[in-house]
C-alpha cells in the first residue's frame, strides 16, 4: 500500500483550497496552470499515488480513474484503481514514465494526513510530494509539482485512521481535483489557440 505524506499549516497554506468551497475547481485549475512551464513544451504526466486497499489512500487512484474518463489531450495520466502506483512499485512506475516521455513535467497526486482543521484541504504547490512522510517512511520523492489532499487527522495509528476514512469525503475530494486538472488542461489549450498566429483567409496569401 502507499503511505500518505503529512500536512501542517505552513507558508504553503495560501496555496490550499477546500474541496467544498465555492470556486474550488477553478482555483485548483488556475494554480495548476500557473505552475506549468510557459510555453508548455514538455509532456505533462499526472502521477496518481495510492491504493484502493485503503479508503483514505484511494484519493490518488480515484483521481486517476476519473481523469481517464475525460478527453484529455496534453496530460498523460498514470495510477488508477485498476493499475495503482503505490509504495511497492513507485520507483519502477516513475522510471517507466520517464522512458515513455522525454523530460516530462510530473504532477504527483497523493492523499495526506494533517490537523483536524485541515481535513478536506487540497494543496497545489511546486516541488515533489514525499510519500510516506506521515509515518516516517522514506520513499522516492515524486513530481515537479504536487497536489495533496488532507483526508484525515494525523498523530495516532495512521494506518487505522486511513482504513476508517470516509469514502464520501475521499470521493468528493477526488472529483474536485480531477475536474480542476481537466480545467487546467482546457485553460492551457485555450491559451495556446489564442497565441497561435491566425490562419490566412485569402487564398492568394498561400502562394
Domains of the chain: 34-187 (3.40.50.1450)
State pLDDT tens for residues 83-107.
999 988 999 999 999 999 999 999 9
Taking the whole predicted model, whether its pTM rises above 0.95 is answered as no
State pLDDT tens for residues 45-85.
999 999 999 999 999 999 999 999 999 999 999 999 999 99
Instruction: Report the alpha-carbon distance of residue 56 to residue 142 in Å, rounded.
Output: 19
When pLDDT is cut at 50, 70 and 90, the band that residue 160 belongs to is confident
Residue 207 pLDDT exceeds 50: no
Contact criterion met (CB below 8 Å) for 149 and 121 = yes
Amino acid at each position: 500500500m502507499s503511505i500518505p505524506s503529512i500536512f501542517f499549516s505552513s507558508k504553503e497554506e495560501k496555496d490550499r483550497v477546500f474541496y467544498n468551497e465555492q470556486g474550488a475547481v477553478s482555483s485548483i485549475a488556475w494554480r495548476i496552470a500557473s505552475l506549468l512551464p510557459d510555453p508548455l513544451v514538455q509532456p505533462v504526466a499526472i502521477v496518481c499515488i495510492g491504493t484502493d486497499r485503503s479508503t483514505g489512500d484511494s484519493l490518488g487512484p480515484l483521481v486517476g480513474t476519473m481523469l481517464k474518463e475525460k478527453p484529455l489531450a496534453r496530460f498523460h495520466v498514470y495510477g488508477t484503481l485498476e493499475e495503482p502506483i503505490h509504495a511497492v512499485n513507485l520507483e519502477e512506475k516513475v522510471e517507466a514514465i520517464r522512458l515513455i516521455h522525454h523530460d516530462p513535467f510530473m504532477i504527483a497526486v497523493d492523499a495526506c494526513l494533517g490537523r483536524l482543521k485541515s481535513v478536506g484541504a487540497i494543496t497545489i504547490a511546486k516541488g515533489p510530494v514525499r510519500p510516506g512522510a506521515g509515518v516516517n517512511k522514506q520513499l522516492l520523492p515524486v513530481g515537479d509539482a504536487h497536489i495533496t489532499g488532507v483526508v484525515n487527522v494525523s498523530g495516532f495509528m495512521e494506518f487505522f485512521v486511513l482504513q476508517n476514512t470516509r469514502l464520501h469525503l475521499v470521493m468528493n475530494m477526488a472529483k474536485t481535483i480531477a475536474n480542476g486538472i481537466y480545467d487546467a488542461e482546457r485553460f492551457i489549450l485555450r491559451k495556446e489557440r489564442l497565441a497561435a498566429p491566425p490562419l490566412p483567409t485569402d487564398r492568394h496569401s498561400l502562394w
